C-alpha cells in the first residue's frame, strides 16, 4: 500500500487534488476570518455556501455562462450575509442562533427551489465545468507545476486571496480599523468611526467568499447541484479559522491539512484498499475535533468575538 502511494505520479496527483479540494473551504474560511476579525461570528457559512452553489448552478445552466454563475454566487452570498448582518449587527440578535437560521434557510430554500425548477430533481442537467488553466511558464516546472499551476481559475483566486487578506488586515489602515471592531470597538466609536459599517462590510465580504466557495463546488467540481452538496465544508471553514488562530497563512496551512486528508481518502478508495468508506468520510470531522482538542485554548481569538457592540447609554 505504501509503495503504491509513494510513486511520484501518485504523490503529484494527491498533492494536486489537495490544492483543488482546498479551494472552496479556503475561500469560505478567508471570508469567515475577516468577519470574525471584525467581531462577528457567522455560523451561517454552511448555508451561505449552499445557496451560492445553488444559484451558481442555476445561473450557469440558464445562461450557459460559467462566469455569470460565479457572479450569481457572489451576489447570493453577499445578500444572505446582508440579512445576517442586519439581524446580528443592527438588531443585535444572538449570533449563533441567527447563523443556524441562515443554515436552515439555505438547506430548505435550495431543496425546494431545486424541486420546483426541475421536474426530475435527482437527474438535473449537467453543465460544462471550468477547464484547468495552466499558467504559462509555471505549469511546466517539475513537481510544483502540476501540483499548483495547472489548477482552475477559482483556485488561483483562493490562493491569491491569502496574501491579499493578510495585506489588507495587517498592513492597511482600514484593515486595522476592522480588527479594532473585533478587539476594542469602543475605541473606534469614540473616534467617530462607525463600528457597524465596518462590521457590515466584513460580514458581506465573508458571505460573498462563502458563496464563491459554493460556486466552485458546482461550477468546477460536480457539474450539477445536489441537496447538501456542501456536506459540512462551511463548518470545516469555521473550524479552520479557529485552528488557524485567526491568521491568513495558518488558515491556509490548516485548510491544506484537511484537504490532504480528503485527497488521500480519494486515492485510497481509488486503489481499492478495503477500508469502510464511511470511516474515511468521517475522518475530517474526527480530525477537526482532535485538532481543536490539541489546541486547547482559543488563543488569537478577537476579544469581542460574537458580542454585539452596544454604545454606552445606547
3-state class (DSSP) for residue 63 = helix
Looking up cell 468577519 gives 35
Instruction: Specify the long-range contacts of residues 59-62, CB closer than 8 Å, at least 24 apart.
Output: 60/127, 60/218, 60/219, 61/124, 61/125, 61/127
Minimum CB distance to another protein smaller for 1 or for 293: 293
Minimum CB distance to another protein smaller for 44 or for 146: 44
Q: How far is the CB of 191 from another protein (least distance, A)?
A: 14
Helix axes 173-183, 8-37, angle to 10 degrees: 70
Q: Does position 293 bind another protein by CB under 8 A?
A: yes
Q: What is the 3-state secondary structure (H, E, C) of 214-259?
A: HHHHHHHHHCCCCCCCCCCHHHHHHHHHHHCCCCHHHHHHHHHHHH
Q: DSSP 3-state helix, strand, coil percentages of the chain (rounded to 5)?
A: 70, 0, 30
Minimum CB distance to another protein smaller for 101 or for 253: 101
Q: Using the rule CB under 8 A, which residue among 68, 93, 135, 221 binds another protein?
A: 93
Instruction: Specify the long-range contacts of residues 186-189, CB closer than 8 Å, at least 24 apart.
Output: 186/309, 186/312, 189/309, 189/311
Minimum CB distance to another protein smaller for 103 or for 151: 103
Q: Using the rule CB under 8 A, which residue among 8, 91, 120, 123 binds another protein?
A: 91
Q: Does position 97 bind another protein by CB under 8 A?
A: yes
Q: Does position 223 bind another protein by CB under 8 A?
A: no
Q: Does position 276 bind another protein by CB under 8 A?
A: yes
How many chain residues touch another protein (CB under 8 A)?
49
- Comparing CA positions, the residue from 74, 41, 38, 76 lying closest to residue 202 is 38
Q: Does position 108 bind another protein by CB under 8 A?
A: yes
Strand ranges in the chain using DSSP code E only, listed in sequence order: none
3-state class (DSSP) for residue 23 = helix
Q: Does position 109 bind another protein by CB under 8 A?
A: yes
Q: Does position 196 bind another protein by CB under 8 A?
A: yes
Q: Does position 299 bind another protein by CB under 8 A?
A: no
Q: Using the rule CB under 8 A, which residue among 63, 172, 194, 269 binds another protein?
A: 194
Minimum CB distance to another protein smaller for 37 or for 152: 37
Q: Using the rule CB under 8 A, which residue among 164, 187, 292, 303 binds another protein?
A: 292
Q: Does position 116 bind another protein by CB under 8 A?
A: yes
Q: Using the rule CB under 8 A, which residue among 30, 219, 242, 268 binds another protein?
A: 242
Question: How crowded is residue 296: how many other Cβ atoms within 10 Å of its Cβ?
Answer: 7
Judged by CB under 8 A, the chain residues 137 through 176 that form the site for another protein are: none
Longest CA pairwise span in the chain (Å): 68
Helical (H) or strand (E) element with 54: helix 45-63
Q: Does position 79 bind another protein by CB under 8 A?
A: no
- Comparing CA positions, the residue from 219, 177, 218 lying closest to residue 199 is 177
**114-122, 142-150, 154-162, 175-183 -> range binding another protein (CB under 8 A):** 114-122
Q: How far is the CB of 224 from another protein (least distance, A)?
A: 17
- Kindly list the residues in this chain that would bind another protein in the complex (CB under 8 A): 43, 83, 87, 89-93, 96-98, 100-105, 107-109, 111-116, 194, 196, 232, 235, 238-239, 242, 276, 278-279, 281-282, 285-286, 288-289, 292-293, 296-298, 311, 314
Amino acid at each position: 500500500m505504501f509503495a503504491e502511494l509513494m510513486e511520484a505520479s501518485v504523490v503529484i496527483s494527491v498533492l494536486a487534488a489537495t490544492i483543488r479540494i482546498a479551494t472552496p473551504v479556503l475561500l469560505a474560511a478567508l471570508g469567515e476570518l475577516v468577519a470574525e476579525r471584525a467581531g462577528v461570528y457567522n455560523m451561517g457559512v454552511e448555508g451561505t455556501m449552499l445557496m451560492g452553489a445553488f444559484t451558481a448552478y442555476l445561473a450557469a445552466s440558464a445562461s450557459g455562462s460559467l462566469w455569470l454563475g460565479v457572479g450569481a454566487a457572489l451576489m447570493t452570498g453577499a445578500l444572505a450575509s446582508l440579512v445576517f448582518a442586519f439581524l446580528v449587527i443592527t438588531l443585535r440578535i444572538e449570533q449563533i442562533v441567527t447563523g443556524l437560521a441562515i443554515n436552515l434557510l439555505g438547506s430548505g430554500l435550495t431543496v425546494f427551489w431545486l424541486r420546483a425548477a426541475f421536474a426530475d430533481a435527482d437527474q438535473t442537467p449537467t453543465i460544462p465545468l471550468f477547464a484547468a488553466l495552466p499558467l504559462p511558464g509555471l505549469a511546466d516546472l517539475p513537481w510544483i507545476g502540476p501540483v499548483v499551476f495547472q489548477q482552475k481559475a477559482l483556485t488561483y483566486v483562493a490562493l491569491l486571496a491569502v496574501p491579499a487578506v493578510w495585506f489588507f488586515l495587517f498592513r492597511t489602515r482600514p484593515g486595522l480599523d476592522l480588527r479594532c471592531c473585533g478587539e476594542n470597538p469602543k475605541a473606534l466609536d469614540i473616534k467617530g468611526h462607525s463600528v457597524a459599517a465596518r462590521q457590515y462590510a466584513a460580514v458581506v465580504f465573508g458571505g460573498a467568499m462563502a458563496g464563491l466557495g459554493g460556486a466552485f463546488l458546482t461550477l468546477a467540481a460536480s457539474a450539477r447541484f445536489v441537496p447538501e452538496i456542501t456536506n459540512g465544508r462551511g463548518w470545516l471553514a469555521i473550524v479552520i479559522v479557529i485552528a488557524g488562530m485567526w491568521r491568513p497563512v495558518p488558515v491556509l496551512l490548516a485548510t491544506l491539512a484537511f484537504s490532504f486528508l480528503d485527497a488521500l481518502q480519494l486515492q485510497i478508495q481509488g486503489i481499492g484498499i478495503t477500508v469502510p468508506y464511511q470511516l474515511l468520510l468521517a475522518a475530517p470531522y474526527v480530525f477537526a475535533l482532535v485538532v481543536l482538542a490539541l489546541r486547547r485554548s482559543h488563543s488569537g481569538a478577537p476579544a469581542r468575538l460574537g458580542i454585539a457592540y452596544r454604545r454606552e447609554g445606547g
